[in-house]
Chain A
Amino acid sequence: MSGGGSFDTFPKLLLRNAAQFGTHPAFRHKDLGIWQSWTWAQVAEIVRAYAAGLHRLGLQPGDTIAVVGANRPKLYWTMMAAQMLRAIPVPVYAEAVADELAFVLAHAEAKLVAAQDQEQVDKVLSVSDRLPQLDKVVYDEPRGLDGYDRSRSIAIGNIIEEGRAALATDIALRKAIDDFVQAGNGSDVAVILYTSGTTGASKGVTLSSRGCIDAATDTTRFDGLTHEDVVLAYLPLAWVGDHYLNYVQGLVAGFCTACPESSDTIEQDRREIGPTFYFAPPRGFEAMLTRLMIRMEDASPVKRRMFNYFLDVARLHGEQVLTGRPAPLSGRLLYALGRLLVYEPLKNVLGLSRVRVAYTAGEAIGPDLFAFFRSIGLNLKQLYGQTEAFLYVTCQPDGAIYSDTVGPAAPNVDVRVAETGEVQFRSPGMFVGYFKDQAKTAEAMTPDGYVKTGDAGFFDEKTGHLKIIDRAKDVGRLNGGTMFAPKYLENKLKFFPNIKEAITFGDSREFVCAMLNIDPIAVANWAERNNVAYGSYQELAGHPLVYDTVAKDVAAVNRSLVEEKVLAGAQIRRFLILHKELDADDGELTRTQKVRRRIIAERYAPLLTALYDGSYEADISTEVAFEDGRKGTIAARVKIRDMQATGAAESLGKAA
């Protein structure tokens, strides 16, 4: 079932769901070890009572109510109840520190805050002197909050009960609530989502009801989601992904949203619930695979051999068998056996048995990782989106899946790549504007009404899919004019197990060079198998055989670039392997393990010079911080290796 038509607001959708799938579960939440369920009819009744209670607390149309906490039914209902009163919910990241929270609450002019528990209530109250508009804090879990001033904080459970009692006796109140629902229309602001603010101060992205519902109607249809589906809501409430995939799609399609018991129990809860639609960022899938591999190490030898054998079968034939492309009969038979013995049990352990559609997005996913999950029969796809689009800009349709693209434009979305290489779009769900920031809104739009994503990308010629290469501001040009996208190259390099970190240089230079960090575990493993003796990381990193191995990886990256006309000229011509691991303690990486290009360029200036002046060796001495806080210096002579640009001689220079 999908939305649209006369259902242009969420309260109307809620009432429709209550009428159409009244007995189907709408929410589940594991509490005291048991999954509690609420049907759509029950949720509609509760939300109505809650709205009545909030109305009595003075929440008016157009007021904002912030929502802070984990994925809890009562917090989702807060958003529904607010929307029923034509007020605007503003979900806020639960991990936000008090200052960030104060900024968002003040900027959004939140009149009420719905908080999960004592921790969040305390955080809000600690900054309440900076929030003149703030009237009350309502909370889900009363534990530890008994002694608090009741004029400032009330349990959501009590509000619902008081609302319910008032509705039973007060005809005028009943009518008032009905009138609010009737009066609501598609141009109402449905929600304000604050961007996480990693690139500057966070901005409030304002979305309209009609836009949200239209976008979700398209995507639920695209993936065939119905009221029979189940999702596990475990992503941050304030993130566009959770709001879109779980809350909005849930209301539009009428499916069930299951809330985990706590953030530590997601694995078990996923197994118990068996979601049918699943989203995780690449690192989520990576963590899943790592845990799996660690557990396999401890399995019995028979199981281990079976696991390895059938994973090879899956790697060879999985994608073909699953997408119905030709595959040898023996491959089909072995795959069927593997499914019985390995793949299905494996997916069951991971809680992915029932998943029909899974998405990943947010960063580049390693081709091996992507292939692993696809080959065992998980329909994993990629999408590209952002808060301003209300998530979807592009997504991969079933049957056309590639690990290095994000798919063609989503239904009814208009995507183009500007002259500068920046991806721009127009979509049904696109934002109305940044809350209280006309200037920033204007900045983010083109004169003809497209939204600028700030990401650089291009359409792949072979598949017609969009490829995202980097943040537009990080994309540079070689002196010859060829586009140079450092992160795109670095990601390609890092997908090789031998390469742990990579930093590429090329903006305003003749050609592209790379500094690499080998992965000590993978390379040490390789060294042991190949009888390469070494005494230290530094020695291993400088070993000629290691250089040979890594050179093969770099050559493979260069070859893959040939196929991409836009970037074919940006092949890596010279590289070196750094004598030490890049480290956050030395300021070379951020705490989230992202390379800090500028600092590395400064610290390793002699090496950078050598890369471009043609020498084959350079001396470097750097200061390092040891874990106990002592400082020392490491000096080394680092070798530089030349690379041949493959098959690109003719396209060099004219590619841009």
Chain B
Amino acid sequence: MRPPDTNEILLQVEGVALSFGGVRALKDVSLNVRKGEIRAIIGPNGAGKTSMLNVVNGFYHPDRGTITFKGRTRDRMQPFEAARGGIARTFQNVALFKGMSALDNIMAGRTLKVRRGLLWQVLRCGPALKEELEHRHRVEEIIDFLEIEAIRKVPVGRLPYGLQKRVELGRALAMEPDLLLLDEPMAGMNLEEKEDMSRFIVDVNNQYGTTIALIEHDMAVVMDLSDRVAVLDHGVKIADGTPDEVKNSQAVIEAYLGVAH
């Protein structure tokens, strides 16, 4: 169940700046994600959306600024620390193990939850087997949740794009994250697939109470799904608020439609 809306801040990004050589991808951006909400970050191409996501889960290290996640402040984070800390993500270009089945891919999401050592795993008996069964049970619940029973044993390389995206979401869910980062979950999908994905995102949020931060191009989708929307343009946050507030913001309209010079 979705927890009652609190104003408890799960993630706070403060004054982050990031540059690649001469390109300044992010310029002094601050934003926060509240516990239990669906938070969207939108913006035109090259606005710095993915950079922002990569800073949050430690792929990039910001030049300046701090990240506070679950009350711990640091100026840089390693990806594995982020994962251990409860941040899971999906990628803009699906990053799955193509030769492995959907089931195995999602099982991979349980890696950090495995308690027994490698030797036990190899022997695959006694407590290790019992543990594996528990993980499998959890994964089967996710498969049921995402309605992908029919492709459980199919190598993901053979699946259509929309289903691969769903498997990737499954793998992220298998981590039982506190914060789920979705990088363009609906890119390249047809209308029906988009509707399915929207439903799953809302269901994840409702059912597991997972906090979700997503980047998206499709404005209509974002406005329907999100509790709050931040808009980036050229590495600067130009608006932040509820979908309605953002929609009526002059800066946003100019960023998306361009201004007469």
Contact = CB atoms under 8 A, between A and B. Distances in A.
A619 interface: no
Interface stretch (B45-53, B81-89, B139-147): B139-147
Contacts of A265: 149-150
Contact of B137 (A32, A144, A261, A264): A32
A328 interface: no
Given A264-B150, A265-B150, A268-B150, A144 B140 contact: no
B140 A33 contact: yes
Given A32-B143, A262-B149, A264-B149, 9 more contacts: A31-B144, A32-B137, A33-B143, A33-B149, A143-B145, A144-B206, A262-B150, A265-B149, A265-B150
A32 B207 contact: no
B203 interface: yes
Interface in B142-181: 143-145, 147, 149-150, 152
B1 interface: yes
Give the interface size bracket for A toward B: 10 to 19
A382 B150 CA distance: 30
A32 B148 CA distance: 11
Nearest to B2: A147
A268 B141 CA distance: 19
Contacts of B147: 262
B150 A144 contact: no
B1 A146 contact: yes
B66 to A, nearest CB: 38
Nearest to A141: B144
Contact of B144 (A32, A144, A146, A264): A32
Most chain A C-beta atoms within 10 Å of own C-beta, residue among B137, B144, B152, B207: B144
Contacts of A34: 140
Contact of A32 (B140, B150, B206): B140
A147 B4 CA distance: 13
Nearest to A263: B150
Contact of B207 (A31, A144, A264): A144
B203 A144 contact: yes
Given A32-B140, A144-B206, A261 B149 contact: yes
Nearest to A32: B140
User: What 7 A-B pairs come out closest when comparing CB atoms?
Assistant: A264-B150, A32-B140, A33-B140, A265-B150, A261-B149, A262-B149, A265-B149
A261 B203 CA distance: 21
B1 A33 contact: no
B118 to A, nearest CB: 26
Nearest to B143: A33
Interface string B115-149: 00000000000000000000011001101110101
A33 B143 CA distance: 9
A31 B149 CA distance: 10
B149 A143 contact: no
Most chain B C-beta atoms within 10 Å of own C-beta, residue among A33, A34, A265: A33
Nearest to A266: B150
A33 B147 CA distance: 12
B102 to A, nearest CB: 12
Nearest to B137: A32
Contacts of A264: 149-150
Contacts of B152: 33
A641 to B, nearest CB: 46
B198 to A, nearest CB: 15
A239 B47 CA distance: 56
Nearest to A268: B150
Contacts of B1: 146-147
B116 to A, nearest CB: 22
A261 B144 CA distance: 9
Interface in B213-235: none
A71 B142 CA distance: 22
13 contacts: A32-B137, A32-B141, A32-B144, A33-B136, A33-B143, A34-B140, A143-B145, A143-B207, A144-B203, A261-B149, A262-B149, A264-B149, A265-B150
A522 B105 CA distance: 42
A176 to B, nearest CB: 37
A261 B140 CA distance: 12
Nearest to B144: A32
Nearest to B140: A32
A34 B143 CA distance: 12
Contacts of B207: 143-144
B83 to A, nearest CB: 26
